[in-house]
Amino acid sequence: MATYNKLSIGSSGEEVRKLQNALMSAGYDVGSSGADGKFGPSTSAAVKKYQKDMGLSVDGVAGKNTQGALYGNSGNTTGKSTVPSSTGTVRPTTRTTTSKTPTLTYDAAGDQAYQEALKALLEAQKNAPTYANSYEDQLKDLYDRIVNRDKFRYDINQDELYQQYAKQYAEKGRMAMMDTMGQAAALTGGYGSTYGQAVGQQQYDAYLQNLNDVVPELYQLALSRYQMEGDDLKTQYSLLADQYQQEYGQYRDKVGDWQTERSFLSGRYDSERNLDYGMWGDARDFAYTDYRNGIADEQWRRQYEESVRQFNEQMALSREQFAWQQAQAQAAAAAKSSGGGSSSGGSGGSKNTGSSSYKDTTAYSRALAYAKAGAQSRRTANLLNGFVQRGEITAAQAEQIMNELY
């Protein structure tokens, strides 16, 4: 025989979780947290409601009786209902009600269509497209070169073209100076003179001045080269960016196709799950309805037995009172007869108390109607007993009414 630990407010663990699941399966609300394994006020309220429905002691504590009934260990409850006999006592009949709590648990593992839909969805999730930028390093390098490029500065000492010009002009100036000095020496008979040297130096300086005149032109050439180099870097960056956009666009197309497929598979999964869960829900509702019907039958049986018990008590008392009244009437009649008085015959004679002549059809019909109106409550026996005590119907007729009702 199963043993159960007493569970109450403050208890926690798997036993409480099992209790909460069983209560929810039976249709009782254990709170918004569901089966969290904590026995709180909501779980206690659900236990009380279950105990009340099952006719158990209502204390909100899940002891062995409550758990035994909830987990179905008590099996079928067979109660004895009663119907009145023709002698005014009750005879037992058997009425069986099932009080076993349904414990259906949803499990979609056995549904093939649901499992196939789930497998396809999980497979699609694993095959999500990924993207690796093939141009990331090149774009970063070009960007750094463009953004961090030195500002333009012109230095003739760093300009190779200027250095070439300087050499050419210096050489031409030296040659012009030598020619001038040679011509001056020829005029003086081969002797050099200060005049020749001065004129030669003037020629040399003239060539160097021409070199300075070229500097602005060289500056513009250097600036143009700087700007062209910058434009070339930007062109390279733009070309790589276009290639990156094309590559990323292909990835986006793949993502779109994947999302479309996943949405389709997700819809298929939801449809299969809802269908399977709906079928389980129908089965659960049917089982719970059957269970609740069993509880209603059990409650009806107990109410009926109580009504019959009260009826039997009242009928026994009525029979005793009626027997006493009959004895009193017979004694009075005997005394009257022995006294020589005679009142036989005539419409004013004594009332016959036999069951056949005692029956008042109107009173009987009224008693039957009242009894039918209260047939589902404990007042039935009290109503009939009142008719008997007032002498409107006999005890046998009250029994007959009970037979008609039950």
What are 302-332's pLDDT values in tens digits? 888 888 888 888 888 878 778 778 877 887 8
Q: Are 135 and 247 in contact (CB under 8 A)?
A: yes
Indicate whether this model's pTM tops 0.85.
no
- pLDDT digits 0-9 by tens, 283-292: 777 777 777 7
pLDDT-based confidence at 341, cuts 50/70/90?
Answer: very low
DSSP symbol at 340: T
User: Can you give the residue ranges of every domain in the chain?
Assistant: 1-74, 124-272
Fold of 1-74: Muramoyl-pentapeptide Carboxypeptidase; domain 1 (1.10.101)
Give the type of residue at 54: M
Query: CA 342 → CA 59, 95, 178, 278, 391, distances in Å?
Result: 70, 57, 197, 86, 26
pLDDT confidence bin for 346, thresholds 50/70/90? very low
Q: pLDDT of 187-219, one tens digit each? A: 766 655 676 678 778 878 888 788 888 889 899
* Residue 259: strand, helix, or coil: helix
